[in-house]
Each structure stands twice: as structure tokens, then as C-alpha cells.
Structure 1
Amino acid sequence: MAERRRGAALEQALLDAAWAELTEHGYAGFTMDAVVKRAGTSPPVLYRRWPDRDALARAAIAHVLERARLEVPDTGSLREDVLALLRAINATRVELVALMSVQLAGYQRATGTAPAELLAAGGPDGTEAIFERAVARGEARPEKLSPRIRALPFDLLRQELLTTHAPVPDDVLAEIVDTVFLPLVR
């Protein structure tokens, strides 16, 4: 007889099952019943934690993003920190970015919440430290670091990933940092 899962192990199994359902069937085909079946549990176990599929989808996305969190570089240079983070995202997130944009389009239609908003709602992503260090070193002017400008290199990378569904060449990453981003913050 299999040991009964409880607590964090049970929650992880439920969120893993939910993510698997989202990736295989998209939000349109995402059901609480399918998650229950995949996780090998009962509906009350799932509904005690998440009242509906929207809440479960948000929790599954947050769970995957937390597991995939990258370490924020500290190279001693704004250029190198941003470039290192772009390279890490580029090397590890192509599939995740494509999957979230394609499979979760139905989520946006149904809830009005874009998957990108879920990324932002996940809490601080650590890039704040990059910008604080850059200001302290005199590499960036704080009044130039609006939220949109801070997000710009990452938004441009995401756009490249969404249009190509492939890793972005390193010279393009350098161009994003050197030609577009850095002139805006100095």
C-alpha cells in the first residue's frame, strides 16, 4: 500500500499535476477533475487548497516559476550583471516562455490576466539588487531607472524568444544591453 502524501509533499504533487495538465492541454483543456486524476487524489483534497481552476492555475505557474528561479549575478558591473542574467534566462527558459505564451493564452482570455502579470506578481525577482548596486557604483542614474526601463532588456529577450522559439544569439543579447538598455540608464 502506498504511503499517503501529506503537507508539502501532497501540495507539490498537486501543483506538479496541475502544471502537467496545463502544459499538455492548455488552459482551455485544464480541469480540476483531470488534476485530481493525474495526482491520484480526491476532489476535496484539491478544492480545500484551491477553490477553482483559475486559482489552481495561478498556483501551478507560481510553483514552476519558483522552482525555476535564477540566481542574480553580482559581477561588479551593470553591463555584465544584466548580460549574465539574460544569458541564464536564454539558456534555461526558451521552452518555459514559449509554453506560457501559447498554452496560457486561454488563461488570459478567461481571466483577463496575462501570464506576464503572473510573473510580476510572483514577488521581487532579484533584479532590484542589480540596479541598486549599479546606482551605488555610479553606472546608472536612479531617475532613469523607471520600472519600464528596468524591465526593458528582459522584455526584449522575451520578445525574441516568443518570435523565434529558440535561444537568442549572444551578439543579440549584447546588442540589447549595449545599444538599447545602457544608453537609457546613463
Structure 2
Amino acid sequence: MAAERRRGAVLELAILRAAAEELAEVGFPGLTMDGVARRAGTNKNAIYRRWPSRAALAVAAYRQLAADSAELPDTGSLRADVLELLRGANRHWSSPLGDVLRGLLAGVGGEPELLRELQEASNDGGSALWLTVLGRAVARGEAPPEALHPRVATAAVVLLRNEFITRGAPNVPESVLVEIVDEVYLPLIRGRGARGPTSARSTSIE
């Protein structure tokens, strides 16, 4: 008796899993629609109906690989929360999955929408995660409301990415993570308060 034909969400998940396995094995440069189709036991048309390009499929596959996204710390301290997020991101970027991510960032750099999806899906945490951590700090009185801006919230992890992407660091030392937090991130947060209408209010970031 012939196997039941897969359709809809079942087939889509099979394709994503196959693409994720291919991506983990060969990286973005070696990823092909033919290879994914063979592994998924389907044809290229079924893939193209869902993802219009190799890059779009690769980003979706990476999202499947990174399904266990960065945990949201809640230590009661902004400094400790940010350090925990950076440590998790550091482990991720130092792992084989980090190699996959670096290849994807280079490969989809010319497609802003895919790049945004990839950055949001990465285990270093998208802007929503960082805004949540910062929002908690605002509620505790540790940070001024003016700091709640996506570019401000993600500044620390952007600096960490820079260590890997532009400097080629295989792993970033703990001392650098602390420096990013203490010398750049927390002063930036304080500075946002000094520029806003609540500058007279004292904020404490321990």
C-alpha cells in the first residue's frame, strides 16, 4: 500500500526539517533546493510554492534550528539580565549553529526583510526580547523610559556580534562582555534619561 501523500503543514514541516539538517551539514553556501527535496522526499516545486528562493528557505530553516531561542532572564537586575543574555549569545555564536548563522548573514545581506527575520530569529535575541528586559528595568526604576528604543535596547548584542563578524573572534572573553555592559550599555541607558524630560529624576542601575 502506497504511503499517504503529505500535504499542508505536515509537508511544510518535513521540508523545514530537511532544510535545517542540510543547513547544519553543509551551511548556506552548500544548501541546494535539490538536496532539500531529496532529503524531504518531495520535489522542488513543492518547496518553491512555499519559499520563493534558496535564501528564504535557508532563513526559515535556521528559524527551525533555533527554535529553542534565548531564554529570557529575570534576575531583578538590568546589569545581570544583560550579562546573561550576552553569555547566551556568546555560546550560540561560538557553536556550530553560530557558523551557520554567520554564513546566512553574509548570504542574505542584500535582502533587508530576510536579514531582519534572521536577526529576530537568532539565539542572541531579537529586539522584542531585549525590549522586554529593558522594559522590566524601567518598571523597577532602574532605567528611564526614554531608553525603550529598539536600537538602544539591542546595542549590547550588536557590539557582541561585531566581535564575531568583523573581528573573527571564535569566542568572546567574559571580560569583554562585562566591558560592553559596564562601559557602553549601562552608560548609554543612563544617557537616554539625561536627554529626556525626566532627566531630573534619579535612576539607579546596579
Q: TM-score range by the shorter chain?
A: 0.7 to 0.9
Which residue of 176, 179, 186 maps to 1:172? 176
TM-score norm. by structure 2 comes to 0.73
Q: Please state how far the C-alpha of 1:165 moved relative to its aligned partner.
A: 4.0
**More deviation in 134-143 or 54-63?**
54-63
Aligned partners of 2:15 and 2:47 also within 8 Å: yes
Q: Please state how far the C-alpha of 1:120 moved relative to its aligned partner.
A: 4.3
Aligned partners of 1:78 and 1:130 also within 8 Å: yes
- Which amino acid is the alignment partner of residue 71 of structure 1? E
In structure 2, distance between residues paired with 1:44 and 1:102? 25
TM-score norm. by structure 1 comes to 0.79
**Structure 2 unaligned residues grouped into runs of 5+:** 191-206
Aligned residue for 1:89?
89
Q: Write out aligned runs for 1:127-142 (5 A).
A: 127-142=130-145
Q: Please state how far the C-alpha of 1:3 moved relative to its aligned partner.
A: 5.9
TM-superposition CA deviations, 1:50-76 (whole Å, max 9, x none): 3433432232233223x1301100000
Aligned residue for 2:161?
158
Q: Write out aligned runs for 1:96-135 (5 A).
A: 96-108=97-109, 111-113=110-112, 116-120=115-119, 122=121, 125-135=128-138
**Structure 1 unaligned residues grouped into runs of 5+:** none
Instruction: State the SS of the aligned residue for 2:64.
Output: helix
Aligned residue for 2:63?
62
In structure 1, distance between residues paired with 2:127 and 2:159? 19
State the Cα RMSD in Å.
2.9
Aligned partners of 2:159 and 2:180 also within 8 Å: yes
Aligned partners of 1:100 and 1:115 also within 8 Å: no
The alignment of Structure 1 onto Structure 2 pairs a total of residues equal to 183
In structure 2, distance between residues paired with 1:2 and 1:92? 42
Cα 1:114–1:155 shift into 2, 3 Å: farther
Q: Please state how far the C-alpha of 1:113 moved relative to its aligned partner.
A: 3.1
- Which amino acid is the alignment partner of residue 82 of structure 1? V
Instruction: State the SS of the aligned residue for 1:68.
Output: coil
In structure 2, distance between residues paired with 1:172 and 1:59? 32
Aligned residue for 2:72?
72
Cα 1:3–1:140 shift into 2, 3 Å: farther
Q: Please state how far the C-alpha of 1:2 moved relative to its aligned partner.
A: 9.5
TM-superposition CA deviations, 1:22-77 (whole Å, max 9, x none): 45555454332221012222334323433433432232233223x13011000001
Instruction: State the SS of the aligned residue for 1:126.
Output: helix
In structure 2, distance between residues paired with 1:77 and 1:158? 23
Over the matched positions of the two proteins, sequence identity in percent amounts to: 48
Which residue of 133, 147, 150 maps to 1:147? 150
